A and B are shown apart, each in its own frame.
Chain A
Amino acid sequence: MIPAAFDYAAPASLEEAMALLAGHPDDAKLIAGGHSLLPLMKLRLATPQLLVDLGKIPDLRYIEEKGDHLAIGAMTTHYQVSISEAVRRRAGLLADSAAVVGDMQVRNRGTVGGSLAHADPASDLPAAALALGAQLVARSRSGERVIAAADFFQDIWTSALEPEEILTEVRIPFQDGKAQAYEKFRQRAGDWAIVGAAVSVARRNGTIDRADVILTNVGPTPVRARAVESALQGQPVSPEVVRAAAEQAADGLDPAPELKASPDYKRHLARVLTRRALERALQIS
């Protein structure tokens, strides 16, 4: 439970951090809140030679409303997101999911950037990011690129980021008018999700225009429940429609068994949580 020895650098600017990463292409790791990385290091599942701490870089911690989107700095903590008035108003789903990450200590340290970059399918924010159509801004010495959340999560603990890239900002289109909710099932307070469901529904004149339904911890990445989405699309908002659609949440799901839950139980939870998230978002039951 003691990490292997490592060097530590706390650059004062993004440029300096990018230079450090470029100079250590194989053996450096960024550290943000450290709440995912340090546990791995303690188990020696990660043994970086150099830790580059993003904590001393000013200007990576912000929540701003910019034209048509929210811009959130990578080092913004889960807690800051969960209490932000702007996030509540413009992207309620993000606040909803950030509020149920771990416990208060974890939310005070863990960051939006770290959570997304870590690409853990059991994490709560990746599902929300997908449902929200987030754009992720990555920077390196070779420049800046913007990656759609849909292309970002590639496999368990694997994102589209290159080793020398730093995730600097998350952009979320304003969600005004959408009905959104995140439902998370866990056995104990503060636990990771056994299954989670993030839903975002756009309505027009009482019919569902578009639904985004993304599930947490049922595959190697957050999983889009396409059957549910198409079952909802074009339908009137009603308890029957929601119930019938949610029944399809586990279609095609093949979750790995884990200590906490069998695949069948996870499939069952996917259906229940999808229905509950939709009911809460649409205020029906």
Chain B
Amino acid sequence: MKTELSMVGRRAPKIDAVKLVTGRATFTDDVEMRGLLHAKVLKSPHAHARILSIDTSRASEIPGVHAVITHRDVPRNPYTSAGQSWPEPSPYDMYVLDRKVRFHGDAVAAVAAETPEIAEAALEAIGVEYEELPAVTDFRQSMGAGAPIIHDEPESYGIYDASRNIAAHIDVEAGDVEKGFRLADVIVENEFDVQYQQHTCLEPHVTIAFLDEDRRLVLRTSTQIPYHCRRMVAFALGIPVRNVHVLKPRVGGGFGNKQEVVTEPIAAVLAMKTGRPVKLEYTRADEFTIARNRHPQHITLKTGVRRDGSIVANALSVLTNTGPYGTHALTVTGNTGTKPLPLYRAANMKFYADIVYTNLPIAAAFRGYGAPQGFFAMEVHMDEVAEALGIEPLEFRRMNHIRVGDTDLMSAAAGEGAGKKPRVIHSCGLPECIERGAEAIGWYQKRGRPGDGPIKRGVGMCILMQGSGVAGDELAGAALKMNEDASFNLMVGSADIGTGSDTSLAQIAAEVLGVPLENILIKSGDTDDISFDYGAYASSTAYITGMCVLKASEDARQQIVAAAARMMDEDPEGLLVHDEKVTSLSGKSVTLQEVALECLYGESKTVIIGKGSHATKESPPPFVAMFAEVEVDTETGQVRPVEIVTAVDVGRAINPDICEGQVEGAVAQGLGYALTEEILVDADGRVLNPTFMDYKIFCAADMPTLTTILVEAEEPTGPFGAKSVAEIAINGPAPAISNAIYDAVGVRLHSLPMTPEKVLAALDCRGER
């Protein structure tokens, strides 16, 4: 392979940028379907109740109403909405519609009507009799004696212990922590609390379901997981997979909220019942109340260290609130332990977790996937451990972080990788990330200099790691076909949900095939294509699908070389494909266009189709050193981030602009998590702030200066050395800012979001004011 790269590593504009900014990109809802019906869902007014009876007769009679469905009208196949590989490691505890409701807003019935207004009127005409049940609205009470059992139905399965409301449970140990603690000179223990966070995708969940001319169910849907969606809907509805066709148009953000089957099943049932296209679209309030969120957790960390700074035992335990359903219950919390724990070398590690049901909003996958919670706790805690030893926090991390050749002890022990071969670190740019990040923020000049006056300044930092795909549980299939003008149709099953993955994948193909970017016509996320993919999650697309595209492109390139060799009467060995031609060492050349025309219409009559399939046991971690500078107003408690420096080891930046964009977006979302964002729920389980007025995300005017440093510690198992980049940075702002607050004012914040009122209370406790 060539060593000089021309397409990979280039800041190519996103291939869909122009169409997005000119409004030509078509999202799910940007089609006009003849006879489209509008679906609405009747939502539970109770946190926990049994449905005694539903009377739909009045609703059905309203002119313009085409279907009203309840649990009586849908198959009772337990499923999970978690878009994971089959069989999903999440409990099968959901039903398209059920006889019981388990949180405020849970679906009771659904209507399809000519207009949204008629559908709303029909909902009001449905009479439901409920038997209210006691509810659990504090996840610390879920396992308690006498707590109501949220999943008492016999059909659900895969629940760890339904009788105690435990959806999933983790108890793993590497080495022997108790022995480790006995060897310790100092033991530090801390507790942390983290909140519900909403993904706030620009585009809410939306599905248009219809039957095509062959009576196959087509789901035009805003999803991260077209292939999982196809299989899961088929299984939930009890219809053959072949009868489902999923189309992913442009998607306006996913962040994990669309690694879920949410609007698809009800839309599908209504389309099948009415024979008409049906649209089910969530409102913004729906997104805040009945979609998905990041899991709230209570985390305890206990670490034993020797005076020399080495860690002898590290134990993390978690209580997680999954809400009424266990979607991603095991695996998200799995990451809370298995991402941060192995970052620090220690012979003895323990990870314990209970993931419990409540009658509260649903928690599920969210960018970072359990790691933001874990890293907030771990990285604040490690600052405190370093302080207890009197070691400078940067130095403490340098001494203890994982490095090349190390085995990740947790990777084989828990989560989706459970029971598989442990991962070994092949690349680690963390030392360079730490050095360059520290220099960029001015760490040594600024640390410990809060300044005079009521507004103090501080700097803090953290280190992070993530994965690139789920170790041992990823698969991608792609194909590309050569056309007359040396353009290629590239079909991938992955889902570009705004990340820019289509562009990165096209760059990989263009690199291998020696063509400009515009020669690659990429289509992603159509399950009727020659492609397959687990979907856009776990930071997998560039690493897994990227390698798959590389293989498919290599396959096509070899066919091109063979054809060119025939045409030039040369030995295929030593032929080079570059700049839209194939050249030989003796100086002969044919253009790719000539090759294409010869193949399609000349003697050989072959269609050049390159195909690839890629799976791997590896999941190489990208690494980050993040630095935050903040101002803390000691009189109001206000924390203002001044600058965030993210030095990130991405292996290889296939497109540096896209990498930086992913980092900046993750930092913005991480800042909200750190400082402002929180779904608030009242004692009855009702969401109190389902609007952007009251749920506060960071907007442009709030953003600090962002500096992103791309470090390239080439990963031998990745395409052109690439690892992942999309999630990792979201883990950093919370711990880096908490540590910076400590540098500024000497108080430790262990609870998110770090609101002015909380910071002020912490200052008050210390008698700072």
B701 and A103 contact, CB distance less than 8 A: yes
A190 and B757 contact, CB distance less than 8 A: no
Question: Chain B residues near A269 (CB, 8 Å)?
Answer: 636
Kindly supply a per-residue 1/0 record for chain A positions 249-285, scoring 1 wherever the CB is within 8 Å of any chain B CB and 0 otherwise: 0000000000111100100110010001000000000
| Alpha-carbon separation in the docked complex, A150 to B113 (Å) | 53
Contact of A187 among B283, B285, B689, B696 (CB under 8 A): B696
Contact (A189, B636) CB under 8 Å given A261-B757, A262-B757: no
CB closest chain-B residue, reference A261? B757
| Interface residue count on the B side (C-beta < 8 Å) | 21
Q: Decide if A185 is an interface residue (CB 8 Å cutoff).
A: yes
The total of interchain contacts (Cβ-Cβ below 8 angstroms) comes to 38
| Alpha-carbon separation in the docked complex, A191 to B693 (Å) | 8
| Alpha-carbon separation in the docked complex, A261 to B36 (Å) | 45
Q: Decide if B694 is an interface residue (CB 8 Å cutoff).
A: yes
B283 and A1 contact, CB distance less than 8 A: yes
Q: Decide if B418 is an interface residue (CB 8 Å cutoff).
A: no
B699 and A189 contact, CB distance less than 8 A: yes
Main DSSP-derived SS at the B contact region = loop
Contact of B689 among A1, A191, A259, A268 (CB under 8 A): A259
B680 and A259 contact, CB distance less than 8 A: yes
B636 and A188 contact, CB distance less than 8 A: no
B283 and A188 contact, CB distance less than 8 A: no
| Alpha-carbon separation in the docked complex, A1 to B676 (Å) | 24
A188 and B689 contact, CB distance less than 8 A: no
B699 and A190 contact, CB distance less than 8 A: yes
B688 and A259 contact, CB distance less than 8 A: yes
Contact of B757 among A191, A265, A272, A276 (CB under 8 A): A265
Contact of B636 among A1, A103, A272 (CB under 8 A): A272
| Alpha-carbon separation in the docked complex, A185 to B756 (Å) | 10
B757 and A188 contact, CB distance less than 8 A: no
B676 and A187 contact, CB distance less than 8 A: yes
Question: Chain B residues near A261 (CB, 8 Å)?
Answer: 757
B702 and A268 contact, CB distance less than 8 A: no
| Alpha-carbon separation in the docked complex, A276 to B689 (Å) | 31
Q: Decide if B755 is an interface residue (CB 8 Å cutoff).
A: yes
Question: Chain B residues near A1 (CB, 8 Å)?
Answer: 283-285
Residue from the set B680, B698, B757, B760 with the largest chain A CB neighbour count within 10 Å: B757
Q: Decide if B638 is an interface residue (CB 8 Å cutoff).
A: yes
| Alpha-carbon separation in the docked complex, A268 to B699 (Å) | 27
Kindly supply a per-residue 1/0 record for chain B positions 568-583, scoring 1 wherever the CB is within 8 Å of any chain A CB and 0 otherwise: 0000000000000000
A265 and B702 contact, CB distance less than 8 A: no
Kindly supply a per-residue 1/0 record for chain B positions 250-294, scoring 1 wherever the CB is within 8 Å of any chain A CB and 0 otherwise: 000000000000000000000000000000000111000000000
A187 and B756 contact, CB distance less than 8 A: yes
Question: Chain B residues near A259 (CB, 8 Å)?
Answer: 680, 688-689, 694
Question: Chain B residues near A268 (CB, 8 Å)?
Answer: 760
B284 and A185 contact, CB distance less than 8 A: no
CB closest chain-B residue, reference A43? B691
CB of A42 to closest CB in B, whole Å: 10
CB closest chain-A residue, reference B756? A187
Question: Chain A residues near B285 (CB, 8 Å)?
Answer: 1
Contact of B676 among A185, A188, A262, A276 (CB under 8 A): A188
CB of A153 to closest CB in B, whole Å: 22
Of residues 189 through 204 on chain A, the ones whose CB sits less than 8 Å from some CB of chain B are 189-191
CB of B153 to closest CB in A, whole Å: 35
Question: Chain A residues near B701 (CB, 8 Å)?
Answer: 103, 189-190
Question: Chain A residues near B694 (CB, 8 Å)?
Answer: 259-260
| Alpha-carbon separation in the docked complex, A203 to B701 (Å) | 37
CB closest chain-B residue, reference A195? B636
| Alpha-carbon separation in the docked complex, A191 to B699 (Å) | 11
Contact (A185, B689) CB under 8 Å given A190-B699, A268-B760: no
Question: Chain B residues near A265 (CB, 8 Å)?
Answer: 756-757, 760
Of residues 60 through 110 on chain A, the ones whose CB sits less than 8 Å from some CB of chain B are 103
Question: Chain A residues near B55 (CB, 8 Å)?
Answer: none
A189 and B702 contact, CB distance less than 8 A: yes
Question: Chain A residues near B176 (CB, 8 Å)?
Answer: none
Question: Chain B residues near A189 (CB, 8 Å)?
Answer: 699, 701-702
Contact (A188, B698) CB under 8 Å given A1-B283, A259-B680: yes
Question: Chain B residues near A185 (CB, 8 Å)?
Answer: 636, 638
Of residues 215 through 254 on chain A, the ones whose CB sits less than 8 Å from some CB of chain B are none
Question: Chain A residues near B756 (CB, 8 Å)?
Answer: 187, 265
Q: Decide if B635 is an interface residue (CB 8 Å cutoff).
A: yes
| Alpha-carbon separation in the docked complex, A167 to B114 (Å) | 44
CB of A174 to closest CB in B, whole Å: 33
CB of B642 to closest CB in A, whole Å: 14
Contact (A187, B755) CB under 8 Å given A1-B283, A269-B636: yes
| Alpha-carbon separation in the docked complex, A59 to B757 (Å) | 46
Residue from the set B636, B676, B688, B689 with the largest chain A CB neighbour count within 10 Å: B636
| Alpha-carbon separation in the docked complex, A163 to B374 (Å) | 57
| Alpha-carbon separation in the docked complex, A121 to B635 (Å) | 23
| Alpha-carbon separation in the docked complex, A190 to B755 (Å) | 17
* Further pairs besides A259-B689, A262-B757: 19, Cβ < 8 Å: A1-B284, A1-B285, A187-B675, A187-B676, A187-B696, A188-B676, A188-B698, A188-B702, A189-B699, A189-B701, A190-B701, A259-B680, A260-B694, A261-B757, A265-B756, A265-B760, A268-B760, A269-B636, A272-B635
Task: Across the A-B interface, give the 7 residue pairs with the lowest CB-CB distance, nearest first.
Answer: A189-B701, A272-B635, A265-B757, A189-B702, A188-B702, A188-B696, A259-B694
Residues of A whose CB lies within 8 Å of any CB of B are 1, 103, 185, 187-191, 259-262, 265, 268-269, 272, 276
19 A-B residue pairs with CB within 8 Å: A185-B636, A185-B638, A187-B676, A187-B696, A187-B755, A187-B756, A188-B698, A189-B699, A189-B701, A190-B699, A190-B701, A259-B680, A259-B689, A260-B694, A261-B757, A265-B756, A265-B757, A268-B760, A269-B636
